[in-house]
Structure 1
Amino acid sequence: MSGRLIHTGQVVLDLVMRVPGLPVSGGDLMASSTALLPGGGFNVMAAAARAGADVLYAGLHGGGFGELARAAMAVEGITLAHAPSAEGDTGIVVALLEDDGERTFITGTDAGGRMPPGLLDAVTPANRDVVYLTGYSLLDGSNAKVFLEWLPRTAGATVLFDPGPLVGEIPTDRLTAVLAYVDIVSCSTREAKILETADVEVLIVREGPTGCRVVHGGHSVTVPGFPVAAVDTNGAGDAHCGVLAAELLAGTGLLEAVRRANGAAAIAVTRQGPATSPTRAELDAFLG
């Protein structure tokens, strides 16, 4: 692979709780299991690294829980662009996992959601790099300003944008300004409806086990998925984005890159945990 994945989002710790259903307001539920695991941006980077990509984490990471996140990134061979932030802890996401594999999140980004001006000045993407941007980074106005000042420096790199489930809360003018620098949008069906008027070069709509719809050059192509028995959908979209980025870095054509990303997401949902993307060898074996 000739470039790097530069991830600009937030690494968090996922407090994963398996529950029989979602609690009613003012109620309580007993979780059958709990686990504290690295998640958020870590899922994407781990997926890309396991698929053979060089990965640079350009986001923030705090103290406390940040030690767990940094240890996990070290295991995956992920390079850190910055020292730990003194402004707060690494964020926590409460992930409620139901018996059918569906998940519901409550997100607190903490230090990762507060990027100071100039943080990205030392990060200069090269022509063969893939820059990953998440909608979570655009929810805060000062954060978005940091990215809008930096994104012009990504010219020549491929900017991959995953808007995330809170995309509807990003002010339209802010989202439009950022999309001007985006090459590929990868999102869920629900998120695609919110973005339906957006003008992007490539739109990848992740539709679960049925696969993905790829819209490019005025044409829409469905890349079939791989139906499996899902046990945990937490991190499936992250696995898809990470492997997609790795394949683009490897020079794989767009539709084949999406097919391999579909396979990685299928494997991921058969495993418990948020960062369950396969290695490149496991994916090759799965695809036959």
Structure 2
Amino acid sequence: MSGRLWHLGNVVVDLVLEIPALPERGGDVLATRTEHTPGGGFNVMAAAARQGLPVTYAGAHGTGPFGDRARAALHAEGIDVLLAPRPQPDTGFVVCLIDTEGERTFVTSPGAEATLTAADLLELRPETDDLVYITGYGLLYDSNRAALLDLLPRLDPTVTLVTDPGPLAAEIPEPALELLLARSDWWSCNAREATLLTGIDDPSEAARALASRLERGSPLVRTGADGCLVHDGERLVAVPGFEVRAVDLNGAGDAHTGVFMAALARGLAPVTAARRANAGAALAVTTPGPATAPEAARLDAFLN
């Protein structure tokens, strides 16, 4: 394993509620299970770290019970934290509603993670073979977006930039989107997000459209239980998924991305890395909770 992952996204705390179904507007529903756990960018970092990739969280974090909870979880996974806590506010949180089919619905309340500045990243100098990860959530906040776009021209060409636009992909300002498309080495998203960005419903055609917009990079489009589509630089390859009994889909995409980046850092070819990521996501959905990506040994055993 060579290199390090520098995560420039947002760590928040997930307030998870399992419910029979979403209530109607103005209605109410009793949760069958509740949990509060670090989420957001934490899920991707934990997935990568469990595969043996050194990880640093370079985003902002706050002072208060949510910030304390997030930092404790990062340290428990062996993830380094670059910045000192903000004096205020606390780290933000996400209400995550999971129905009986495993589908999830989010409501986000931003906190300190939405206050990243260019000054926070002035000394950030990823080295050759390092990976830098940017998420669309960070691009929605004015301060974070300015900081991230200020960093792009300073990245050495040998640094691999992975961008995940996230569920709010359509709300990313167009100038920021174009700059990231120009620099990204990997554009990792699900089929819905690919449609939002291209206007094309067919995942394969949407992936090809994304490939044509990426000046130096390639797309990876997750297609749920079917697996993913990955462009290896020459052609689009459909990499099949693994049949498992899904218990909780929350965090599946994050597990996929984290395992994929760790596989790239090991020097695996894109299609092989994508197959490993499919397996990581498949194992993740068999356990309740958002940060359920497997350890490397468990993933190796599953693949073998």
TM-score norm. by structure 1 comes to: 0.97
Alignment partner of 1:237 is 2:239: no
Compared CA separation, residues 282 and 37, structure 1 to 2 (3 A): same
Per-residue Cα deviation, 1:78-106 (whole angstroms, up to 9, x for no partner):
00101111231111000001111111111
Deviation at 1:218, TM superposition (A): 4.8
Pairing 1:81-96 to 2, within 5 Å after superposition: 81-96=82-97
CA distance in 2, matches of 1:213, 1:178: 20
**Which residue of structure 2 lines up, in the alignment, with residue 127 of structure 1?**
128
Letter in 2 for 1:279: E
Match of 1:259 in 2: 275
% same residue = 52
Pick which of 184-193 and 147-156 moved more: 147-156
Distance 2:176 2:135 in 1: 13
Residues 1:114 and 2:119 are matched in the alignment? no
Q: Distance in 1 between matches of 2:148 and 2:72?
A: 27
Structure 1: which amino acid aligns with 2:176? R
Kindly indicate whether the alpha-carbon contact (under 8 Å) linking 2:118 and 2:151 is maintained by their aligned counterparts in 1. no
Is the contact made by 1:4 and 1:53 (CA closer than 8 Å) also made in structure 2?
A: yes
Residues 230-279 of structure 1 deviation map (CA, whole Å, 9 limit, x = unaligned): 11011000000111111111111111111000000000000010000000
The 8 Å contact of residues 231 and 272 in structure 1, kept in 2 or not, is answered as yes
Q: Which residue of 2 aligns with 1:21?
A: 21
Say whether 1:281 aligns with 2:297: yes
- Structure 1 residue 140: Cα displacement: 2.1
Shift of 1:159: 0.4
Partner of residue 38, structure 2: 38
Shift of 1:171: 1.7
1:66 maps to what in 2? Answer: 67
TM-score, structure 2 as length reference? 0.92
Q: Higher relative contact order by CA 8 Å / sep ≥ 6: 1 or 2?
A: 1
Equivalent pair of 1:95/1:105 in contact (CA under 8 Å): yes
Tell me which residue corresponds to 2:242: 226
**Map of 1:11 onto structure 2:** 11
Deviations along 1:139-193, whole A, 9 cap, x unmatched? 1233211111111222211001110000101121221122222110110101111
Q: Give yes or no for contact 1:45–1:242 (8 Å, CA) kept in 2.
A: yes
Q: 1: CA distance between counterparts of 2:110 and 2:13?
A: 9
Matched-pair contact (CA < 8 Å) for 1:43–1:274:
yes
Match of 2:163?
Answer: 161
* 2:220 equivalent in structure 1: 204
- The gaps in structure 2 that reach 5 residues or longer are 199-208
Counterpart Cα distance in 2 of 1:253 and 1:68:
36
Specify the SS of the correspondent of 2:108. strand
Task: Report SS of the residue matched to 1:180.
Answer: helix
Give the match for residue 206 of structure 2: none
Is the Cα–Cα contact under 8 Å of residues 62 and 91 in structure 2 kept in the other structure?
Answer: yes
State the 1:109 CA deviation. 2.5
RMSD after superposition: 1.1
Aligned partners of 1:157 and 1:75: how far apart in 2? 27
Contact 2:232 2:271 in 1 (8 A): no
Where does structure 1 lack aligned partners over 5 or more consecutive residues? none
Partner of residue 176 from structure 1, selected from 175, 178, 182? 178
Whole-Å separation in 2 of the counterparts to 1:39 and 1:82: 18
Letter in 2 for 1:247: A
